[in-house]
Structures are given as structure tokens and as C-alpha cells.
Amino acid sequence: MAGSEARKAIATAVEVGYRAFDTAQWYGNEVETGLAIAEAGIPLSDFLITTKVHPERMNAKSFIPSVRQSLSNLGVDCVDVLLLHWPPIDGDVVPSLKLLLEAKELGLARHIGVSNYTVAMLKTAIDVLGEPPVTNQVEFHPLLDQSRLLNGASDLGVPVSSYCSVARGRVFEFPEISEIGVKYGKLAAQVVLKWILQKGVSLNTMSTKSKNIRANFDIMNFELSNVDVARIDALNATNYRIVGKTDNAFVPEWD
């Protein structure tokens, strides 16, 4: 999302009650995110803003200036959560993790974390940071078996958060999800998002449409049964991964 579409969607989301927003240097919408939040008329301290460092800026020369630029784009002195967007191409995560820690020590970020890390990379992250990163943001939806990653992260004490939570719409091709929703008076998207939360994974959802933004927020008043969770689990046999080697050069060998 960019430009006025992003600003409008964020304004709607704030009105509905969302307070956590996820952006990145790569998305080119940090400025719109900052403006929409500033226009909301709600104290900045009520929000949790995440941004991510572009993998091409994970070198000693560019990293810290790029974070300062992100803060300026967002109109904040310190971002709530700063993530490394991708591991580097050569797989050596240590230098960028040291730079991430430096950004925190300089007071540019309250919390630091990673995205698209494997379990082995998370182990290195804990060694370098001296504590678990606050999140590992990864592709997570019912059509992909992420149990190895989730169990590995959980053993290490690293919280997982989702992207592509509705598999960019592909989940809607599975009628059993809507069927489950009927029992709870919920839509297929709401069932999928609740399934993610019940896996212990925190959620990122994206929509340009007011109706969907509202629906995606309205998921805290029901609980899927174990039987329904298991029915949705079984869809991972689809083995549908959206973000793979052909998407960008930074994609690691997934767990």
C-alpha cells in the first residue's frame, strides 16, 4: 500500500481500534504511516510502530543512517520495534545483528527483532543480542506447515508473528474454513486470523477495504474448538508457500 490508499486505510484502522502498525523501508510507506498516525489525534504513546531495515542497508556505512531516515519518515524520535527485514544473502547474520543492537543502544529503537529467520539464525541472534529478539516475523497461514519453525522458536523463547496471514486470499478457496465460520457467526478471514492467534502467533493483517479492516479486528469474541483447529491444521498438506527463492535474493533455506 502506498500514498493516499495507505493513509486512508490506516485512518480507518485507527478509528476501528488498531494501534499496532507494521511498515518497512522497503515498502516506501513510512511517511504515510507517520502522517496517518499523527493525524489520528491520539497520543503517539498509544501506538506500537514497527519498521524494518532493508537488507541492502545492512552494512556499517548505511545501517544507522537508514534507521535515522526511517525515524524522520515516521516523525518519531525512537521506533517501538525495529526488525531486520531479511537475513543477508551470504547467510552470515552476525554483522547485521550487531548493527541492530547498536541502533537500540543509540536509543533509536525500544525493541529489536528479526524477520524471515530460520531457527539456526535465531540461535545466533540470541548469542549476539544477549536475549531473544522480540519477534521473528514470517509467512504464517493455514496452507503452510510452519510447525518446525514455530516449535524451534518457542524452544528458544522467540515470539513469532505472521505475514501473508490469509495467504493473499488463497485461503478463501477452501470451503471448510467458511463452513467452520458459520458455526461461530464469523467469516472465513476471521476464522483464519483466529486460528493464527490460537497457535500463539501474533498477527499482521493488511487490507485496503474498510469492511475487511473492520472484520479482521472483530475476532476477540469467539474461540475455535480443538476439533476446528485440527481441521484447519490439516490444510497445511496444501504446502502453499508464497515467498520463495524466486521472489528475492535474500530468501534463506526455510526450515
Ligand X SMILES: NC(=O)c1ccc[n+]([C@@H]2O[C@H](COP(=O)([O-])OP(=O)(O)OC[C@H]3O[C@@H](n4cnc5c(N)ncnc54)[C@H](OP(=O)(O)O)[C@@H]3O)[C@@H](O)[C@H]2O)c1
CA 196 from centroid of its chain's CA atoms? 12
Cβ neighbourhood burial of 58 (10 Å; 0-12, 13-18, 19+):
buried
Verify binding: residue 12, ligand X, rule CB under 6 A.
no
**Residue 77, helix vs strand vs coil:** coil
Active site includes 240?
no
Binding of ligand X by 64 (CB under 6 A): no
Return the DSSP state at 79. E
Stretch touching ligand X by CB under 6 A, among 55-63, 152-160, 163-171, 220-228: 163-171
Nearest residue to 32 via CA among 54, 53, 56, 51: 51
- Closest distance to ligand X from the beta carbon of 16 (Å): 12
Q: Check 18, 27, 163, 184 and give the catalytic one.
A: 27
| Shortest distance in whole angstroms from residue 59 CB to ligand X | 19
Closest among 61, 133, 65, 64 to 93, alpha carbons compared: 133
Q: Which of residues 175-214 bind ligand X (CB under 6 A)?
A: 189, 204-209, 212
Farthest-apart Cα atoms in the chain, separation: 55
Instruction: Tell me, residue by residue from 88 to 117, as one string, x for binding to ligand X by CB under 6 A and - for no binding.
Output: ---------------------------xx-
By CB under 6 A, name the one of 6, 7, 14, 22 that touches ligand X. Answer: 22
The amino acid present at 61, given as its one-letter code, is K
Question: Nearest CA to 232 among 176, 149, 172?
Answer: 176
Mark 218-247 with x for binding to ligand X (rule: CB under 6 A) and - for no binding. ------------------------------
Q: How far is the CB of 115 from ligand X (least distance, A)?
A: 4
Q: Does 169 bind ligand X (CB under 6 A)?
A: yes
- Distance in angstroms (rounded) separating the CA atoms of residues 123 and 217: 33
- Interface ranges with ligand X (CB under 6 A): 22, 85, 115-116, 137, 163-169, 189, 204-209, 212, 215-216
Write out the catalytic residue numbers: 27
